[in-house]
Amino acid sequence: MLKTKKIKQNAPVVPVLIWIGFLVGVPLIYVLALSFLSRDHLGNVVLEFTLDNYKRVVDPVYLKVFYSSFLLAALTGLITLLIGYPVAYFTANLESKKRSLAIILIILPFWISSLLRTYGWIILLGNTGLINNMLLKLNIIQQPLNMMYHFGTVLVGTTYMLIPFMIIAVFNSVGKLDRSLLEASYDLGASKWKTFFNITLPLTVPGIAGGFTLVFIPSLGMYFISDLLGGGMTIFLGNVINTQATRGRNKPLAAAFSVGMIVLVLIVLFIYSRVIRDKKEGLFL
Amino acid sequence: MRNTKIKSILAIALSIILVFALAGCGNSGEPNGSNDQIDGNGGSKQINLMTWGGDFIPREIISQFEEKTGIKVNYKEVTSNEDMQSLLEANPDQYDLAVVTDYMVDILRQNGSLEKLDKSKLSNFSNINPVYQGNYYDENNEYSIPYAVSISFLLVNPEAVAALGADPITSYKDLWQEELKDKIVLIDWSVEIMGLVLKSLGYEYNETDPVKVAEAKEKLFELRDNIVRFETNTPEDSLINGEAVAGFMYSNQAVKGQAADEKLEPVFPEEGMPIYIDSFVMSHKAPNRDHAYEFLNFIMEPEISARISVITNFASTNSAAEEYLPEDFKNNPMLNLPDEVVENTSFYINVAEVTEEYDHIYTEFKMR
């Protein structure tokens, strides 16, 4: 009796699960299967089992690509945290009307195409860009500063592109804080800073971990940013996959790299689940 | 209550961001006409065409065709030959025509994806310059009609090169001069760049001899310090804004560069250059064949062809179009390619094994 009730309760979820299972599961299986297949001299995929694609993936040259992508994603996560946390903290503590306005202002620029906003950075940072022109006019520099086409330029791009995810995640976490704990801390004589480090920060760890995950994962794949801002001088996983899936005409190799990227993401998600295991909230709660 | 309201706003806003973020990475979208308009064997007056974006087949020309014949042209923009291949081979009955680059004609015909063209329906084919016919990818001109020709060469700012104390650039070899540190822009594609290095060593494109490839690899690594950036879509911008003094790029880009800054000059390297011939091909299950033939004939009309060349900055494949070309087009060596330049060009064959090895070298080169 109890069982049928439970089934009835859960029934509406089933179509959603099937839908998600279909849209996520089928492509995933396709990619996985593809990564073990070969291709002929024309670049057509042929049904022939091989491990060569994975041998390529663990080649030292391509492992370096994994490392640079990991570094980019991790640094993007870190910088968005350092900038995003204070923004989220103060936003969450605003009175409700101002808070809604602030959130809208944070999100508004992201209604414009990401490609267009990336070009905006070129206009800003380029040799004949706004910053260089201004500094030259003010006679602060004699030669234009070389700000484009470095690892750092790409980092600026990914940070800018993904920071709202960090802000929103932390914002939610700060919003859920039990104010009475803070009051108790003040009553017991703790300073503002001490309260922050002993109460607020530990309690917002789920938000931080969630934000980090939300930022880390997409920054692995934003190849157009490294193409435009990085001038193609360094390669990231997204670039390799894009190249192999198109002009390289090696879809199986692209699939093997994608599997490698998925493993990288799973590691991050695993760490995330560890971090929030004992907390009562998280990204998916 | 207030909290949930904010949350739902956030949820909606976040999903919108996600949608935009994903859209930014995706392709340029669906064909202009939706598939449900297609009703089998040319019952409706339309054709489905797929090719590069931009104004590769100028809208002006397409409207002219639509007005003249009443046949609607659905133009799908695609960003790579490989995407066109995927689309064409997945839905051969949804596309009539595609314009793909030489090597892709070869792949598509070997895969049996192309229709042999019925020359009796192509009265204007005689206008096509024989120089651009009978190439390796279609020896007997059965499957393809050359549409646009481009080559790659160097666009150079001679004044800026001299100002750096470097010797004038006349060949690929000159790009290795120490004085040119951080001053060169290149197309971002392993096969092109390996080709450039191989040519500078006096070898041919698509070299597979491991000794020669190893030599080219070493030579490529020596070029690293001189490169300011890799850019495939708008390399000419780097010369216009001064961050580079020399660039290896496609002819239509060089034309745009020179139009923006007349100090820039083309250099046709003596070692030889790559040539690309984008050609019309027909799907072997094309639903609107007769209309497609009509379109092909229209495109090959001398006046139309001349107009296309002027708009797109691609060399004309149409001999009969010459008399309709404006003087400044005919006098521009980048657009009206001199015979000795065309003779000094060759194709990238782009076979899988070569590409794989070159990609590996290229990745190592970039990760240094």
- CA dihedral B10→B16→B22→B26, nearest 10 degrees, is 180
| B80, B107, B182: residue with CB nearest A247 | B80
Mean of pLDDT values over A55-61: 95
Question: What fold does the segment set A60-275 form as a domain?
Answer: MetI-like fold (1.10.3720)
Helix B81-90 to helix B102-110 angle (10° resolution) is 30
Instruction: Tell me the average pLDDT across B7-22.
Output: 54
Which residues are CB-contacts of A122 (< 8 A; sequence separation ≥ 6)?
Answer: A129, A148, A228, A229
pLDDT value at B33 more than 80: no
- Ranges of H-type helices in B44-167: 59-69, 81-90, 102-110, 158-163
pLDDT at B8 over 70: no
Closest residue by Cα to residue A165 from A209, A197, A200, A231:
A209
Nearest chain B residue to A103, by CA: B10
Residue A13: its pLDDT value, please? Answer: 85
Q: Is the pLDDT of residue B225 over 50?
A: yes
User: What is the per-residue pLDDT across B346-368, written as a single tens digit (0 to 9) for each?
Assistant: 998 877 778 889 999 999 999 88
Residue B28 — pLDDT band, cuts 50, 70, 90? very low
Burial degree of B140 (CB within 10 A; 0-12, 13-18, 19+): exposed
Question: What is the predicted pLDDT for the residue at B15?
Answer: 54
Confidence band of B338 (pLDDT split at 50, 70, 90): confident
pTM of the shown model: 0.86
pLDDT for B194 equals 95
Lowest mean pLDDT among A6-10, B7-11, B44-48, B278-282: B7-11
C-alpha distances in angstroms, B340 versus A34, B62, B268? 46, 34, 10
In a domain, B219, yes or no: yes
Q: Where are the beta strands (DSSP E) in B180-300?
A: 184-186, 227-230, 246-250, 265-267, 273-282
Residue B272 CB coordination number (10 Å): 20
pLDDT band at B41 (very low <50, low <70, confident <90, very high): very low
Give the minimum alpha-carbon distance from A77 to chain B in angstroms, rounded to a whole number: 18
Q: E strand or H helix at B150, and its extent? A: strand B145-156
Q: Which residues pair with B152 in a beta bridge?
A: B250
Domain positions in chain A:
60-275
Tell me: pLDDT of B339 over 70: yes
Is the same domain home to B263 and B314? no
Number of domains observed in the structure of chain B: 2
**B207 plus B218 within the same structural domain:** yes
**What pLDDT shows up at residue B274?**
95
Q: Determine the distance in angstroms separating the CA of B317 from the nearest CA of chain A, rounded to an integer.
A: 25
Q: Are residues B118 and B193 in the same domain?
A: no
Task: For residue B231, give how far its alpha carbon lies from the nearest alpha carbon of chain A (Å).
Answer: 6
pLDDT at B32 over 50: no
Please provide residue B78's backbone torsions phi and psi, each rounded to the nearest 5 degrees.
-130, 150
In this structure, the answer to whether residues B209 and B309 fall within a common structural domain is no
In chain A, which residue's Cα lies nearest the Cα of B358? A248
Condensed to tens digits (0 to 9), the pLDDT of residues A233-278 reads 989 999 999 999 988 999 999 999 999 999 999 999 999 888 887 6
Average pLDDT, chain B: 89
**Residue B353 shares a structural domain with residue B247:** yes
Residue pair B196/B172 in contact (Cβ under 8 Å)? The answer is yes
The answer to whether the CB of B105 falls within 8 A of the CB of B143 is yes
Check residues B291 and A12 and name the one with the higher pLDDT.
B291
Tell me, rounded to whole angstroms, the distance of Cα B306 from its chain centroid: 19
Averaged pLDDT for residues A74-94? 95
Q: In A, residues 70-129, which contact B (CB 8 Å cutoff)?
A: 96, 99-100, 103-104, 107, 110-115, 126-128
Q: pLDDT grade, residue B30 (50/70/90)?
A: very low
Q: Which chain B residues are closer than 8 Å to A161 by Cβ?
A: 21
Beta-carbon separation of A221 and B2 below 8 A: no
Contact criterion met (CB < 8 Å) for A65 and B367: yes
> Are A172 and B363 inside 8 Å of each other by CB?
no
CATH of the domain at B302: 3.40.190.10
Tell whether the model's pLDDT for residue B21 goes beyond 60: no
A246-255: per-residue pLDDT in tens? 889 999 999 9
Residue A9's pLDDT band (boundaries 50, 70, 90)? Answer: confident
Query: Which residues in chain B touch residue A249, judged by CB atoms under 8 angstroms apart?
Result: 82, 350, 352, 355
Q: Residues B265-291: what's their mean pLDDT?
A: 96
Mean pLDDT score, B5-23:
54
Cα distances from A19 to residues A22, A23, A27, A78, B337, in angstroms, run: 5, 6, 13, 34, 56
- The domain of B41 spans 35-148+277-339
- Give the long-range contacts of residues B163-171, CB within 8 A, separation 24 or more: B164/B245, B169/B246, B169/B267, B170/B267, B170/B269, B170/B270, B171/B200, B171/B267, B171/B269, B171/B270, B171/B271
Q: Which amino acid is at A272?
A: Y
- In this structure, the answer to whether residues B238 and B357 fall within a common structural domain is yes
Residue A195 tokens read as 């309260």
B122 and B68 within one domain? yes
Contact B75, B32 (CB under 8 A): yes
